[in-house]
Structure 1
Amino acid sequence: MKTLAASRPLLWLVLALPGLWIIGRWATVPQAYGYGHAIGDSGDWAAWLLLLTLAVTPVRLLFGARKWTGWLLRRRRDIGVASFAYAAGHTVIYLEKKASLSLVLDDLGSPDMFVGWLALALFAPLAATSNDIAVRALRRSWKRLHRLVYPAAVLTFVHWALAAFDPTTAWIHIGILAAIETTRVALQRRQRVT
């Protein structure tokens, strides 16, 4: 059982399941599960996995060094890369729907699309450097670079709120993001003081 829990391929299979479901539904029943569902679900999974990635530090600070918090810490980069993969899929679905560079550039003038592209631009170098080789090569700079996750996360959820037909769910997630980050900052400050 320990080997199963430590298996990265199994983790990646689990992380890929929602994406396979999205692709499968869109391919098999496009009338019932069309563009709106595919773009919404891919964006949701990108956001949920991002929240999970950001929650690892406060959870570790709150519960200490336990087996399950250690597992989360070791797999945080995998979860973050999966979040980026869903964001990239979300972008591909959008580009496929637009099917025209001029339409994409026209959309760039709207705040929701501009913020979304900016978030993706911040996430791209994080995903590209979320591997052991980059960690070793960048050393201390790696951590500084990966602090971009915080503004990228804010931009992601602002994009969601601006692009949604009903932004209520986005605002709930913004509240969750604020709670995660407030907890992280408070726990890190408390650790420095004690």
Structure 2
Amino acid sequence: MRLRRTAALLLLLTAVGCGSAGSPGPAAAPPAASPSASPSAAAAAGASAGAAASDRPSDATSMICNPYFRQELAGALGTDIDRPLAPSWEKRVYSCEYHYPAGSMTLSVKELPDPATALAQYDGLRGSAGAVTDLNGLGEAAYKRADGTTVVRKDGFVLTVDVARLPETFGTPPRSRADVAVMTATTVMICWKEHSS
């Protein structure tokens, strides 16, 4: 039953686009990003550029807090944030908190220099997360924690969708917060795929 529901969410989201520069959205823009457009390109650029790449997130990473993605996520969840996003970039982690009237969730991407380092980071997080449930079809590997938070590894990136501060059910129509996390992570993966093609 749970697998069928997750598969239904994935099918629903395949129709979701990630907007374009011409899409309407709030005026606030995320911090400037490097020219790489996909997770794999960003990982390669990070590996070759060394320290120069560490001063700003890649385009793929900064997408999680840009106005176009925010608009796509609002459409997928049936609700929008009630205050502006305030992205941060520290120690190669780009993050922002999505504040809603009923709670909040945090999206973050850790940029690693290569896929092998990302795998080690992902395995370390998984090992310290307690009981987890593996998720098939998201990135190269994914799991969800007991609180519904979803972690996905893709190329040299580790995405975390932390839903611990959302109510047990959220959105319109109401979904479990675990389903909200999977839906959000799936939307990110779809957007990354669109930008890399």
> TM-score scaled to structure 1, two decimals?
0.26
Q: Larger helix proportion, structure 1 or 2?
A: 1
* Structure exhibiting the larger radius of gyration computed from Cα positions: 1
> TM-score scaled to structure 2, two decimals?
0.26
Q: Larger strand proportion, structure 1 or 2?
A: 2
